[in-house]
Amino acid sequence: MRSPCVPAALALLALTPSLLRAEDVATEARAKAEPAPTTRNFGNLRVGGSTANGNGRPELCLELSPVAFLSVESCGTGSGFLHGDPEPEVAHFRAKLRLASFEVERWGTFQPFLAGGFAEAQVGRDDPGFQFSGTDKRRVATTGPEGGLGLRFLRPLAGGFELVGDFNFSLAWLPHAPELIQPGSTWLPSASLSFGVGF
């Protein structure tokens, strides 16, 4: 005599693969319907180059992001604290407003942004501080407003860190640059590319 549980067990075994497949399909549908979380960068340190600096030194950038859509950064060659060379350089101090965030499968996240702040041009060892209304006493530094746009790239690495790339164009207005001991142009366009690591 056959136990009444055997047909039920055989029916359950026969249906198990289709039940598992239905669950896989539902999971895949949920994954496609839910957007992937946008990579959030809190801070990064990058190294690269800028057309504004003709001194052959790499440009270093430190960027901090107190909120997801807004960050502040400082970029320059480190003149005055990393090295004492009195070579010409341009330092940038700006806020960056993220306009959007696009996830590209197998690549990472791309984030276009607008930037605004100020740039300091120096043609020698300058005094501390910024000179918005002229040049410093020795006429080696001046500061003016700057605006730009760019594209940030984020790719997750291990342990919560990420690869960060930044490509941007900017235009600074330095009305007192012609008064420097090495006169410069009033309008200073620049492009920069840098890569680094963030978290």
Single pTM value for the model? 0.78
Domain range for 30 is 1-34
Question: Which two structure tokens, joined as six digits, stand for 53?
Answer: 């600096």
Alpha-carbon distances, residue 124 vs 60, 88, 155, 180 (angstroms): 19, 6, 38, 10
Question: What is the domain-level CATH number for residue 96?
Answer: 2.40.160.20
Same domain, 9 and 90: no
User: pLDDT digit string (tens) for 142-190?
Assistant: 999 999 999 999 999 988 899 999 999 999 999 999 999 999 999 999 9
Both 55 and 113 in one domain: the answer is: yes
61-86 per-position pLDDT tens digit: 999 999 999 999 999 998 777 777 77
User: Are 48 and 24 contained in the same domain?
Assistant: no
| Helix%, strand%, coil% for the chain, nearest 5 | 20, 50, 35
CA dihedral sign of residues 44, 47, 50, 54: positive
